[in-house]
């Protein structure tokens, strides 16, 4: 009887052990090594030289600014568009499965593929310029990429990210909407609720856990944006992940690259903490 009780007490921990080992090996150990490198100077001693160097580097602050600009631009638009699409598909009209599959197609594409497709559309000899010139809307090509065109490239990147990543948020929100019992909505009809009342008093509160999860995942992904920006604009629009790659792959500044990586990880941890604690839904509190 005693051994059976011990087994029942330890069984949850044993089942969770593979996940802990995976996180320790592939997340914890690299993070500790990055932390060690970030606080190691070129001479091999522990110091804050790398952080001081970044604080004095204008490129770092520019990369942080653009990363935050992408974050505050992409995430609200992404979540809003995905929510509207999820509400539309959740009505389950005739042929809604076709719409569902069409929206989900970008999930099969990598960020590199999405960036290359976007480049072929917006480049000076791409599809968009050919289409506009063919119908006489413009006479000369519109340039979106190059020196001095960062603002245009910025919005091309935003559009690319919206097209590429909206399906991920859409799937999470649609799953949250589909688990809402119809009994609540039918009871609301009995009590004479309007469509707006049903949305704000029933649908939105019940889908809030899914919305929180989608918002957290999309925010973290947006903060770590790399391939789309790097392929479409290079260092014309510096971002934190791009500078991490540049310092390691091009300049071989391992300590500086580790410092960039540590700062990205630290900010992501703070963002996760903020979402989980500050924006915790009443459903999860219960």
Domain limits of the chain? Answer: 61-285
Instruction: Provide the Cα torsion 180, 274, 75, 83; round to 10°.
Output: 10
Distance from C-alpha of 234 to C-alpha of 242, rounded to nearest angstrom? 8
- DSSP for 23-43 reads HIIIIIHHHHHHHHHHTB-TT
Distance from C-alpha of 208 to C-alpha of 251, rounded to nearest angstrom? 45
Domain 61-285: homologous superfamily in CATH = MetI-like (1.10.3720.10)
pTM of the model: 0.84
Residue 232's nearest CA partner among 66, 97, 11 is 66
Structure tokens at 41: 């100077």
Instruction: Provide the Cα torsion 204, 206, 212, 217; round to 10°.
Output: -110
pLDDT per residue as tens, the chain (286 positions): 546 665 667 777 788 888 889 988 888 888 888 888 888 887 778 888 889 999 999 999 999 999 999 999 999 999 999 999 999 998 888 888 888 888 888 888 888 999 999 999 998 888 999 999 988 888 889 899 888 888 899 999 999 999 999 999 999 999 888 888 888 877 887 878 888 888 888 888 888 888 888 888 888 888 888 999 999 998 899 999 999 999 999 988 889 999 998 899 888 888 888 887 876 644 444 4
């Amino acid at each position: 009887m005693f051994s059976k009780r011990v087994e029942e007490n330890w069984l949850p921990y044993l089942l969770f052990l593979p996940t802990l080992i995976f996180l320790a090996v592939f997340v914890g150990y690299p993070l500790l090594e990055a932390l060690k490198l970030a606080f190691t100077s070129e001479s091999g001693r522990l110091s804050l030289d790398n952080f001081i160097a970044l604080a004095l580097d204008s490129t770092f602050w520019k990369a942080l600014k653009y990363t935050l600009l992408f974050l505050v631009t992409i995430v609200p638009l992404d979540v809003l568009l995905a929510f509207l699409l999820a509400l539309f598909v959740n009505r389950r009209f005739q042929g809604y499965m076709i719409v569902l599959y069409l929206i989900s197609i970008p999930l099969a594409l990598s960020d590199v593929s999405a960036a290359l497709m976007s480049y072929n559309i917006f480049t000076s000899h791409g599809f968009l310029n050919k289409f506009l010139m063919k119908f006489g809307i413009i006479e000369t090509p519109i340039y979106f990429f190059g020196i001095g065109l960062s603002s245009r490239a910025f919005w091309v990147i935003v559009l690319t990210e919206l097209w590429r990543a909206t399906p991920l948020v859409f799937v999470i929100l649609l799953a949250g909407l589909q688990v809402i019992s119809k009994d609540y909505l039918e009871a609301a009809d009995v009590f004479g609720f309007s469509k707006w009342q049903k949305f704000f008093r029933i649908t939105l509160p019940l889908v809030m856990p899914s919305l929180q999860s989608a918002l957290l995942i999309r925010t973290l992904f947006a903060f770590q944006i790399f391939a789309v920006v790097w392929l479409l604009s290079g260092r014309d629009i510096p971002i934190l992940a791009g500078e991490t790659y540049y310092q390691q792959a091009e300049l071989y500044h391992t300590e500086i690259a580790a410092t960039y990586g540590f700062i990205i990880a630290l900010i992501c941890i703070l963002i996760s903490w903020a979402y989980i604690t500050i924006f915790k839904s009443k459903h999860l509190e219960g």
